[in-house]
Amino acid sequence: MSFTKKSNNLFLSLFMLAISAGLLGFAFLGYHDAQIAQGAGLYISIQCNASDRKMYDILMDCIGILLLLFSTLLPPLLLKKFTSASLLRFICLFLAFIPMINPGSLVHIFSQFSHCELRTLGTLNSLLYGFDAFSSLLLLELPLLLLLLAISPKGKLFYQKVLFVLSLVSCLLYFLFPSFGEYTMFFSHYFILILIYDKTESLFKEWSKPQWPIFSLYLLCALKGIYRIILLLQTTHI
Amino acid sequence: MKEKHNISRNIIIALGMVILIAFKYILHHKCFFVMDDLWYGTNLVTGKPLQSFSDIIQSQIWHFFNWGGRNITHGILQLTLMNGEIFANILNIIMALVLALMICIVSGYKNPLAFMLSSSLIIALNPNIQNSMFWQSGTVNYVYSTAWILLFLWVYLRETTETTVKKLPLIPAWIIPLGVITGWSNENMGPASFVISIAVILYLWKFLKCTPPVWMYLGAVSSFLGSALVILAPGNFVRTAEIPETSFLITVSERFLSMLRAGADYLFPSVAFMLVAIFIYVTILKKKLKPFHWLLLAHALLSYGAMALSPHYPDRATFGTMCVCITLALSLLKEITQQTHEYKKYLNLLTLSVWSYAVYTLILIINSL
């Protein structure tokens, strides 16, 4: 049985897919509860003069599912690493590292982008918070990436450089435009995470045994993701 | 040319450390004695401000029977409180540097870069910097105690290398008080250290087929005594009696959540960092973990697992476990960087990244006060 090598074992593949589905389902549950508690569907129903919010809650839930599936399935698909084990690994990383976007802010997404104002840098406070997106990468993602770069096969591909630049651009946008905060924070981590994922997956092709350090690391990421969702449910579950 | 490069690198490291220490001092200066500090700043029996060492002894005797078993750390806390803020701030800085130095010594990674990396990691990977490093009660309970716990561990772990190590002078004399204060430090790190001392004795006896020296038994017994004192102090039972009883199911679910929170949230950065280092060492470089590494890993697991018996597992209580994870990661990074020059280059960048985050975090907290 292998957590890292492409599995010929159908049962193990199905098992991993089931865990992936379970994790995504749990993540969606957290989103759904946050969406209901923040009243995103309710807000839209009021804007549309509707008497019942249910349809709009379902609409917001569908948007949430699509965004969640899109952001978790697209990188493994595009990087041609769409196996059950590889998908599960990306989902574990995603749930552990990616900052959450409030469902409530999704309904105001257009107004946020149309009313973009430059961050006022008059105080040390605003300067420090402007660096928040970049500094949050300095703690774990960048050190992990640096360690992976030291050991990964030589030659950095063009798309990997693009991902890194996109992440830095997101950090810069976070610094300049506070109204984009949640989205730029999300993307700054998302692009770096795809880069880390790409590097680790190419390493697993060459080195996969012993598996226990890799398995422990991803288990830890999954537990972190589960804990974050439990925390969200504790505050939002009605 | 290489020498010039080394000199300039050391100057940059020295500058980085000066900046880090400066911000630490500023933050210490801004964090006054608060909460428990104010109570421990008095004779716990009479309620009057501490005047002398005898007040501390009297307080700690009362503390042992009425409040809890952490007499060593709280006794030292009262000593620092009695001497005022400036004395405490300077001593806290010194002890934080000693702790970073102990991490380097135990890990075997003894160079200026490793020292800067360990000093930065203690701040960067810390789930609650203020309560574990800048609140006087927290600093003594966690920073000070982890420094001497690592000293105790070093004394044992160095014996597990297959090469003969130099005998430490007069060790049978000082291992006993060191063992006592190690065991008597806190409820998870103390007993975990005792278990590791026993594990080392068994390893020497069973695997290296040599007779463990007498001082090892003395250290193990003294750390056991210290652990017994910290756990079985009557004061602990007085306090737990005040906690309202809950059903078994609620207790189990609360403990499960607190362990999940500690392991997956508070300790996530340090454990992830450690696991990546293990992955590189074991899976990429195909090296086997040495007994020394396994023992450090066991210590981290034991100190974490022991908290399942505690009704509370606050973020600051993960400090010792975090330091052990950092020690293990650094010892692996030392061997990893010896493989190729490429690793050294990336380690410099990694140190810069972690140092930047540590400084940013300190500035953020200073600005918020």
Residue B308 has pLDDT above 50, yes or no: yes
Q: Is B50 helix (H, G, I), strand (E, B) or coil?
A: coil
Determine, for residues A214 and B280 on separate chains, whether the beta-carbon distance falls below 8 Å.
no
Q: How far is B335 from chain A (nearest CA, A)?
A: 14
Q: Judge contact between A208 and B283, C-beta under 8 A.
A: yes
Q: Judge contact between B125 and B318, C-beta under 8 A.
A: no
H/E segment holding residue A155? none
Interface of B with A in 239-298 (CB under 8 A): 257, 260-261, 263-265, 268-269, 271-273, 275-280, 282-284
Contacts of B340 (CB under 8 A, 6+ apart): none
Q: Is A92 helix (H, G, I), strand (E, B) or coil?
A: helix
Mutate to test the interface with A, among B353, B359, B367, B368 (most CBs of A within 10 A): B353
CA-based nearest residue to B236, from B46, B63, B44, B59: B63
pLDDT score at A2: 55
H/E segment holding residue A19? helix A10-38
pLDDT score at B273: 94
Cα separation of B21 and B105, whole Å? 20
| Partner residue facing B353 (CB), from A143, A208, A209 | A143
CA-based nearest residue to A188, from A138, A231, A228, A153: A138
Residue A68 has pLDDT above 90, yes or no: yes
Q: Which residue has the higher pLDDT, A236 or B82?
A: B82
- As beta bridge partners, residue B49 has B42
The percent of residues in chain A predicted with pLDDT above 90, rounded, is 35
Residue ranges in B233-265 assigned as alpha helix (H)? 234-241, 248-261
Cα separation of B291 and B279, whole Å? 17
Q: Which residue has the higher pLDDT, B244 or A220?
A: A220
CA-based nearest residue to B347, from B335, B362, B360, B363: B335
pLDDT score at A112: 62
Contacts of A44 (CB under 8 A, 6+ apart): A56, A59, A60, A107
Interface of A with B in 13-32 (CB under 8 A): none
Provide φ and ψ at B312, rounded to 5°. -130, 140
- Cβ contacts (< 8 Å) between B350 and chain A: which residues? 143, 146-147
Q: Kindly report whether the peptide bond that precedes residue A143 is cis, defined as omega within 30 degrees of 0.
A: no
pLDDT score at A230: 92
pLDDT score at A1: 45
State the average pLDDT over residues B310-329. Answer: 94
Residue B163 has pLDDT above 80, yes or no: no
Cα separation of A54 and A35, whole Å? 12
Residue A96 has pLDDT above 90, yes or no: yes
The percent of residues in chain B predicted with pLDDT above 90, rounded, is 75
A238 touches chain B (CB under 8 A): no
CA-based nearest residue to B149, from B80, B199, B95, B215: B95
Interface of B with A in 18-37 (CB under 8 A): none
The ipTM is 0.89
Task: State the sign of the Cα–Cα–Cα–Cα dihedral B189, B191, B192, B197.
Answer: positive
Q: Which residue has the higher pLDDT, A203 or B352?
A: B352
Residue B52 has pLDDT above 50, yes or no: yes
State the average pLDDT over residues A156-178. Answer: 87
Determine, for residues A151 and B280 on separate chains, whether the beta-carbon distance falls below 8 Å.
yes
- Cβ contacts (< 8 Å) between B357 and chain A: which residues? 135, 138-139
Q: Judge contact between B187 and B306, C-beta under 8 A.
A: yes
Interface of A with B in 142-161 (CB under 8 A): 142-144, 146-147, 149-151
Q: Which residue has the higher pLDDT, B12 or A154?
A: B12
State the average pLDDT over residues A11-17. Answer: 90
Determine, for residues B265 and A227 on separate chains, whether the beta-carbon distance falls below 8 Å.
yes
- Cβ contacts (< 8 Å) between A128 and chain B: which residues? 360, 363-364, 367
The percent of residues in chain B predicted with pLDDT above 70, rounded, is 99
Determine, for residues B349 and A138 on separate chains, whether the beta-carbon distance falls below 8 Å.
no
Mutate to test the interface with A, among B276, B321, B335 (most CBs of A within 10 A): B276
* pLDDT band at residue B330 using 50, 70 and 90 as cut-offs: very high
Which chain A residue has the Cα nearest residue B122? Answer: A139
CA-based nearest residue to A162, from A183, A188, A191: A191
* pLDDT band at residue A114 using 50, 70 and 90 as cut-offs: low
Both structure tokens of B288: 């086997």
Cα separation of A101 and B330, whole Å? 35
Determine, for residues B353 and A138 on separate chains, whether the beta-carbon distance falls below 8 Å.
yes
- Cβ contacts (< 8 Å) between B273 and chain A: which residues? 140, 143-144
Provide φ and ψ at B49, rounded to 5°. -60, 145
State the average pLDDT over residues A188-210. Answer: 87
Instruction: Among A107-116, B223-232, B239-248, B326-335, name the one with the lowest average pLDDT.
Output: A107-116
pLDDT score at A153: 59
* pLDDT band at residue A132 using 50, 70 and 90 as cut-offs: confident
State the average pLDDT over residues A187-205. Answer: 90
* pLDDT band at residue A238 using 50, 70 and 90 as cut-offs: low
pLDDT score at B240: 74
Determine, for residues B277 and A147 on separate chains, whether the beta-carbon distance falls below 8 Å.
yes
Which chain A residue has the Cα nearest residue B256? Answer: A227
Rounded to 5°, angle at Cα B109 from B160 and B72: 70
Centroid of chain to Cα B125: 13
Contacts of A96 (CB under 8 A, 6+ apart): A220, A221, A222, A224, A225, A228, B268
* pLDDT band at residue B11 using 50, 70 and 90 as cut-offs: very high
State the average pLDDT over residues B325-329. Answer: 97
Q: Judge contact between B318 and B267, C-beta under 8 A.
A: yes
- Tens-place pLDDT, residues B61-76: 999 999 988 999 999 9
pLDDT score at B155: 95
State the average pLDDT over residues B320-340. Answer: 92
Phi/psi class of residue A132: alpha, beta or left (left: φ > 0; alpha: ψ in -120 to 50)?
alpha
Q: Judge contact between A181 and A156, C-beta under 8 A.
A: no
